Amino acid sequence: MEITCRRPWLWVVLAAFAAGCALPGPRFEPTPTLEKPAYGGGRAVGVLSKEPAEVLSVLGDALADLQMTETKRSRDGLDFKINARTTDDRSVLVTVKPQQGNTRVACRVGWFGDEPLSLALIERLGVRLGTLPPAAIPETPPSRPAANPFFSKEGPDREMVRDFADAPYRAQVVP
């Protein structure tokens, strides 16, 4: 008895799926070290060589150093989430997680991130905990908000909405 296949491409697809090439790749996760925080995907991540309770005790002072006001603290299992606001009313989310004797701190400022301000917060935490050398509190916090990747305002309004303005108006639906 001979087996014939009318769809030979089906075997190729099944073999590729079984090999795993049809699955999506891993998500980008910044890999921080104890010495240097990492930034990626709109957030800064750093690992501090202290317990989470110590980090949480100085987090309010580090936020105040960068002119941020804490609005809410919550806990989800072992993770702590701290919400704050910047002086220009952007949201700040700081997540503190225990990690094998260390503490992993992640910080996102605004919807799309702010690299200098996020990294400055993790640096201020290190200074407050004594893991980094003393540094002066900045008079104005470093800030460079990331642009909205979905709608870039790179020209005058007449160019941005040109297609809408040029479209004819019709009072009735035309099939």
DSSP 6-64: S-HHHHHHHHHHHHTTTSPPPPP-----SS--EEETTEEEEEESS-HHHHHHHHHHHHH
Higher pLDDT, 105 or 28: 105
pTM surpassing 0.85? no
The radius of gyration of the chain from alpha carbons, rounded to an integer in Å, stands at 25
What pLDDT shows up at residue 23? 47
Domains and CATH numbers, the chain: 45-129 (3.30.310.80)
How many angstroms separate the first and last alpha carbons of the chain?
56
Beta bridge partners of 79: 76
CA distance 107 to 115: 10
Residue 160 pLDDT more than 60? yes
What pLDDT shows up at residue 166? 60
* Run of H or E including 107: strand 102-109
Residue 97 pLDDT more than 70? yes
112 neighbors 145 (Cβ within 8 angstroms): yes
Q: Which of 12-16, 27-31, 119-123 has the highest mean pLDDT?
A: 119-123
Residue whose C-alpha is closest to residue 62's, from 104, 125, 126, 136: 125
Task: Provide mean pLDDT across the span 18-42.
Answer: 66
Helix (H, G, I), strand (E, B) or coil at 169: coil
CA distance 133 to 93: 25
Task: Provide mean pLDDT across the span 140-165.
Answer: 70
Residue 22 pLDDT more than 50? no
140 neighbors 169 (Cβ within 8 angstroms): no
Please enumerate, as own/partner, the contacts of 132-137 that have beta carbons within 8 Å and a separation of 24 or more.
Answer: 137/65
Between the alpha carbon of residue 20 and those of residues 12, 14, 28, 29, the distances in Å are 13, 10, 19, 21
**Which range is least confidently modeled, 36-40, 99-103, 164-168?**
164-168
Name the band, by pLDDT with cuts 50, 70 and 90, for residue 81. very high
What pLDDT shows up at residue 104? 94
